C-alpha cells in the first residue's frame, strides 16, 4: 500500500462517525508535479477510481506551461484546509514533496524578491552548467541543495542571491518547529530492498501498460510534447525542467537514450529521489513511522490524536 492508497483508506475510516467523531475527511495532494494537468502517468497521479469517492484537492490545478511554486501551493492548501474544516471534515495532506508539507505545517516564510521575467529569460538562455557555476560563486550553500539541471530554479536562485546577497534559509514564524496547526504526521517505512523493488515494478507498469485512456508513460510524454489540439505543446526544455520521469522521457523522445537505458536510468534516479525524500523526513522527530501493513498501529495513532 502506497501513500495515496493509505490516505484514501484513512479518509474512509475517519468517515465512521461512531469511531472518530468525524463524518468525513478530504485529501490535499502535496506533490509538486501532480498540480499540473496532463502529468498523470509519469507522476503516478491517483485515478478517479482509486479515489473511491473521497474528495481530493490540488490536483490538475495548473497548466504545465506555467510555473507553479511552493508558495502558490502553500496558499492554495491553506484555503483548502479552511474550506474542509468549515464542512466539518478532517483534512489529510498526502504526498512526497517534503518541502511543500514543511512550508505549510511550519508556516515557512519565503524570500520577498519579486519575480523579474526579463532577467529570468536572459538567465535561462544560458546552459544549466553556466547557471550552476554562477550560483556556486554567489551562494555556495544553496548550490549544494539545488537541482543543478533545472534552469528555472537555478535562474530564480541567482535572482534572489543577486538581490539579497544569498538565498536565505526559509524560516518559520514559529520557534521550535511548533506548527500553527494541530498535526499528526505519519510516515511509511519500507526496507530499502523492498522499496527499490517496488520502484522498478511500478516504473515498468507505467512504461508498458496502458491506462484508462489507452496511454502508457511514453505515449503520455509524446502527447505532452505534441503541438496538436489534444497535446500540451511542451518543449523538451520544459519537460526537462519538470524533472525525473519527464526529463528522461524527453531524452528518449529525442533518441538520446534507448528504452532499456530509459528504464535503467529512471529506476536509479527515482530510487535516489526516494532516498533524498526519506533523508528529509527522518530529520523530523514529530513523524510516527509505520510499516504500510500496520493499519492497527496507524488507526491507534489517529484515535489518540483525535482525542
Lowest mean pLDDT among 74-83, 214-223, 271-280: 271-280
Q: What is the pLDDT of residue 173?
A: 47
Q: What is the pLDDT of residue 45?
A: 95
Query: pLDDT band at residue 178, thresholds of 50, 70 and 90?
Result: low
Q: What is the pLDDT of residue 177?
A: 54
Which residues partner with 93 through β-bridges?
28
Q: Residue 298: pLDDT above 70?
A: yes
Rounded average pLDDT over 283-295:
91
Q: Which CATH number fits domain 3-110+181-306: 3.90.700.10, 3.40.50.720, 3.40.50.300, 1.10.1040.10?
A: 3.40.50.300
Q: What is the pLDDT of residue 26?
A: 97
| Residues with Cβ within 8 Å of residue 124, at least 6 apart in sequence | 151, 152, 155
| Residues with Cβ within 8 Å of residue 233, at least 6 apart in sequence | 65, 225, 226, 227
pLDDT tens digits, residue range 24-36?
999 999 999 999 9
Q: List the helix and strand counts (H, then E) for the chain.
A: 15, 5
Query: pLDDT band at residue 175, thresholds of 50, 70 and 90?
Result: very low
Amino acid at each position: 500500500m502506497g501513500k495515496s492508497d493509505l490516505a484514501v483508506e484513512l479518509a474512509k475510516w475517519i468517515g465512521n462517525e461512531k469511531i472518530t467523531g468525524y463524518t468525513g475527511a478530504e485529501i490535499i495532494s502535496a506533490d509538486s508535479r501532480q498540480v499540473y494537468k496532463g502529468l498523470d502517468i509519469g507522476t503516478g497521479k491517483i485515478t478517479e477510481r482509486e479515489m473511491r469517492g473521497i474528495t481530493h484537492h490540488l490536483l490538475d490545478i495548473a497548466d504545465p506551461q506555467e510555473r507553479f511554486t511552493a508558495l502558490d501551493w502553500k496558499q492554495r492548501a491553506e484555503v483548502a484546509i479552511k474550506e474542509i474544516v468549515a464542512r466539518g471534515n478532517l483534512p489529510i495532506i498526502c504526498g512526497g514533496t517534503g518541502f511543500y508539507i514543511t512550508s505549510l505545517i511550519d508556516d515557512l516564510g519565503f524570500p520577498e524578491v519579486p519575480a523579474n521575467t526579463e532577467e529570468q529569460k536572459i538567465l535561462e538562455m544560458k546552459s544549466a552548467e553556466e547557471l550552476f557555476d554562477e550560483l556556486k560563486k554567489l551562494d555556495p550553500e544553496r548550490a549544494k541543495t539545488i537541482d543543478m539541471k533545472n534552469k528555472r530554479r537555478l535562474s530564480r536562485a541567482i535572482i534572489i542571491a543577486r538581490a539579497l546577497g544569498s538565498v536565505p534559509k526559509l524560516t518559520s514564524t514559529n520557534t521550535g518547529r511548533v506548527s500553527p496547526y494541530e498535526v499528526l504526521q505519519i510516515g511509511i517505512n519500507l526496507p530499502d530492498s523492498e522499496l527499490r523493488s517496488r520502484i522498478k515494478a511500478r516504473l515498468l507498469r507505467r512504461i508498458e501498460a496502458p491506462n484508462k485512456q489507452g496511454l502508457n508513460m511514453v505515449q503520455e510524454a509524446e502527447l505532452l510534447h505534441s503541438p496538436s489540439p489534444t497535446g500540451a505543446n511542451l518543449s523538451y526544455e520544459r519537460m526537462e525542467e519538470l524533472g525525473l520521469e519527464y526529463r528522461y522521457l524527453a531524452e528518449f523522445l529525442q533518441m538520446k537514450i534507448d528504452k532499456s537505458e530509459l528504464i535503467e536510468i529512471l529506476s536509479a534516479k527515482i530510487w535516489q529521489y526516494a532516498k533524498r525524500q526519506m533523508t528529509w523526513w527522518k530529520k523530523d522527530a514529530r513523524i510516527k513511522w509505520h510499516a504500510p501493513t500496520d493499519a492497527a498501529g496507524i488507526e491507534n495513532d489517529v484515535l489518540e490524536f483525535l482525542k
